[in-house]
Structures are given as structure tokens and as C-alpha cells.
Amino acid sequence: MIEIAGVLIRKGRAYLPVNAKIQGDGYLEMEPVFEAELTEDALIAALEKIIAAGHPLIPPPSKEEMKRRKDPVLIATGAKSWNQLAKDSFSYTIAWHDGNIKLFLHALDETGRFASGLGRYTTYQEGTPLSTIVKAILDDVAEVSPSK
């Protein structure tokens, strides 16, 4: 069962990386990163691929491995850094937990970094169709800034 999925919107495209589960604790975004148009059907298809991929289990990466690591989201989006992504993109997190689905809406912290825990979220019952969640993401993108 999937626990978390990320959706990054940049320059009119959506990017959805597979999230590996790190043995012990946490997640790490990895390839593949599915790219989709900003349409309901395309986003649902990409989310279905993420759900099917699940969370591959990986050992905790060493500090050296993290230094050498090429971030798959930066590669897929063509961005040079996460700071750049925070300036010109939207980030959404979908979490499946305790019989609910929580959609964390785009938010930035006081330093301009992505921050999914700043109170902008919507909770759905387990079993809510992906179309409902995708519509909420597309509506938020349109509301926050139609230019990104």
C-alpha cells in the first residue's frame, strides 16, 4: 500500500517521483519520475503509476552517497536547485494514513522553501477517487498562480 506521493508542478507540467522507503525511517525520491500534462486524465494516470510502483525499500544512504547523488526531480524538471523549484513551482503531497487521505497544498515557509505542514491541507476518506484529489490540485494551482 502506498503511503505518500508527491506532485510537483513546473512550467505547465507535473512531475511525480517514486518515493523509496528508507529502512528505519523516511522516504527518498527516486527514479522514475513520471511526467504528465496538467489535465485530470494525465495526472490520474501518473498517480496510478506511482501507486503501482509503491515504495521500494532501500537501505539508508551514506553521507557520501547523498553527496554523489543526482536528484531525479531536478534532472526531470531541468531545475538547478530546490531553491529554484520553490521559486517557480508548486509542490503537493498526498498521504494515505489511518484510513484517510490528506492532500497537503502548496505552501512556502518564511525562507521561501517548500513546506507541506503549514496548515494548508484537505482530508478525504479512504477510497476517495483520485479524480477528486487531482481536481483539488488543479484548482489550487489555478487559484495560487495561473502563470506557473
Q: Which residues contact 129 (CB under 8 A, 6 or more apart)?
A: none
Mean pLDDT score of the chain = 92
Q: Which residues contact 57 (CB under 8 A, 6 or more apart)?
A: 20, 21, 23
Q: In this structure, which amino acid lies at residue 125?
A: Q
Residue 125 lies in domain:
4-144
Please report, for the domain that includes residue 95, its CATH number. 3.40.1590.10
Q: pLDDT digit string (tens) for 43-90?
A: 999 999 999 999 999 999 999 999 999 999 999 999 999 889 988 999
Report the percentage of the chain scoring pLDDT > 90. 80
- The domain total for the chain is 1
φ/ψ (deg, to 5) at 73 = -70, -40
pLDDT bracket for residue 120 (50, 70, 90): confident
